[in-house]
Structure 1
Amino acid sequence: YLHSKGIVHRDLKLENVLFKTKHADARVKIIDFGLSKHFKAGETHDEYVGSLYTMAPEVIWRNYDERCDVWSLGVIAFILLSGEAPFGGCYGEKDQRPVIARISHGYYRFEPKEVWASISREAKEFVCTLLKVDRRPTVEQAMSLPWMQNRVDEETRNEASSSRAIEVLPEWGARAPA
């Protein structure tokens, strides 16, 4: 929605995603627009802003467009599925150079393996597509990926993924970066 209105958030992270109510079908709300900016199609930005653990490589390189938010959504999906940040950067590391190198090269692993073993191929492909260093999709293209299009009923959905997300949220809140 934001991108269709010409707004790039630039600091999407789990801490900035809230549920409107406590109901299972609650709407998701994005908060903290302090770093957001209006953009025009084809326009790039060069400000180094955002939270390192969800920061896209091109933000580090200071030449980015609205697809930096898509990267951040890939990081959020990774965290919700596994409970871990794909590149680190959120655990108080004193030396951030290794984190920056992993982000810049798009280097991550589907670990812990025992968690990812129960995650669908479509979910993994979704994460991989959003965390591409080059040729990352737009939000609209990401919404058309199979994992997002896969509409299944309550009885056939991936219980491992949904129950893991429920476990991850309180754990993440306790250790999230300030």
Structure 2
Amino acid sequence: MTELRSGLQLLCGVALAAAVLVGMRWWTGPAYALSSRDAAAVVDLIERLKPQFGDFAYDEEIADEWFDEDAAAGGLIAGAGFSRERWKVALGETIRGFVAAIPRAEVEAMLSGAREGIKAMKELDPLQKKEALDAVDEQIRALWAMRLEGAPFADTVRPYVPRLRALLTSRGGPAEK
């Protein structure tokens, strides 16, 4: 059950990012490509800001919120050299690269486990199971698309996969203020 929960948490975190990012196509132009320095800085910033801002699940609004909240609280993001737009691009490319860097067999096992977990839920009636499976299938399609989009960034992000996995799958609320 713990493996199912961990797999579902990873799937939910990644699927949320996938659902948002699949609809977004950022043109980064030839002057900007995700560097190892920027990927490291993004991961460092997520680690440093998560206790203050809460769990991280990427979408463009959260990127903006974190930028604004951080600017009001000390400006770590800007201090790391990111403008708002560059932060959003680097953050998006890092997350997509993370999804692409997860080994395919692991992703397939996770997705299969999520589907099997839903099928095994006795508390859901057949219609609820179908709806849940349809939703998971939609997220799965988005995840595969996101992996394709993230392929150019996978090698850059690969050294940070363990840290990102921990950041995106651990759950806990924002720090008490």
Q: What TM-score does the superposition give when structure 2 sets the normalisation length? A: 0.24
Whose Rg is larger? Answer: 2
Q: Which has the higher contact order (CA 8 A, sep 6+)?
A: 2
Greater helix proportion = 2
